[in-house]
Amino acid sequence: MIGRRIKEQRQKVKWTQKELAKKVNVSPQVISNWEREYTTPDSTHIALLSKAMQVSSDYLLGHTDDPSFKTGATDDSNINIAFYDGLKGFEDLDPEQQQVIMDTVEDMVARFKKRKQERQNKKNT
């Protein structure tokens, strides 16, 4: 999926593989390998591809069909990539299994944020 999306977005912005390769500091052959899914970009290159082509990292990874690129101080998609890229074997799981893991982690983060906010509220009263 990622290879097809890289190729589609590259063609959408009317870049050659060589032009995209320059923007993400790799050779055109690496772009070709990614697009044909012979190899997969690491988290750093996914972030660079996302920024260069103005699409979300989650879109490139197939986690969403919304290519919207969000700018800001932190790009949650890039943070997510770095996190999941560090999970050994994550990429070998089925998309449904990956989604269960992502949902679980997001739920845990929401719970911790809520607890933190509750503690802050108690301190302020």
- Give pLDDT tens digits for 35-77: 999 999 987 788 889 888 988 888 888 888 777 765 443 445 5
- Taking alpha carbons only, the member of 71, 56, 7, 9 closest to residue 33 is 7
Confidence of residue 83 (pLDDT cuts 50, 70, 90): low
pLDDT greater than 80 at residue 93? no
Q: What is the pLDDT of residue 73?
A: 35
Tokens representing 79? Answer: 């943070």
DSSP conformation letters of 18-55: HHHHHHTTS-HHHHHHHHTTSS---HHHHHHHHHHHT-
Q: For 8-32, what is each residue's pLDDT tens digit?
A: 999 999 999 999 999 988 999 999 9
Q: Answer whether residue 89 shows pLDDT above 90.
A: no
Tell the residue number behind the tokens 């809520």, with chain if given: 114
Provide the 10 A C-beta neighbour count for residue 71: 7
pLDDT score, position 70: 56
* pLDDT at position 72: 43
Kindly report the pTM of this predicted structure: 0.56
What is the average pLDDT across 94-120? 80
Pick one of 1.10.260.40, 3.90.420.10, 3.90.45.10, 2.40.30.10 as the CATH number of 2-87: 1.10.260.40
Per-residue confidence (pLDDT) for residue 27, from 0 to 100? 94
What pLDDT is attached to residue 74? 44
C-alpha closest to that of 21 among 42, 37, 45 = 45
